[in-house]
Amino acid sequence: MDLLILSTAAAVRRLHDTNRSRLWLLMIYIPEVFMLFFSTMIPLVAKSLMAEESNLYVTLISIIEMTAVLSIPVAVIQLVGIIWLLVLFMLKGTVGENRFGSDPLVPESDEKSNVS
């Protein structure tokens, strides 16, 4: 949990350096929430299928198909989001001040001389 908080904070800071909102992180967090939801729902669905049908083979095939149908597209979306965020993280930050604050690479003395 600590690593998640620290990495999210670093990612938000980097996105703000490039003048982008923290909402870009949803590209990787929303698919993860769906994956967690699917992984908890599949055993419940399997239990109900086993109660209705006596054929265990058909039930197992249904569970495997359901897992593949649900998890593969979500994983692909998450992978695309991770790659896109890595590209964004490698871009040069906004030169000068942006909507999230001043440029951290500009020395403080330069900022004060520009204001005066």
Q: To 10 degrees, what angle do helices 2-17 and 56-90 make?
A: 40
pTM of the full structure: 0.62
Q: State the pLDDT at residue 112.
A: 55
Find out whether 91 and 17 touch, Cβ atoms under 8 Å.
no
Q: State the pLDDT at residue 83.
A: 94
User: What dihedral do alpha carbons 56, 61, 65, 68 form, nearest 10°?
Assistant: 100
By the 10 Å C-beta count (0-12 exposed, 13-18 middle, 19+ buried), 15 is classed as buried
pLDDT tens digit sequence for 14-48: 888 888 888 888 888 888 888 888 777 777 777 77
Task: Sketch the domain layout of the chain as residue ranges.
Answer: 2-94
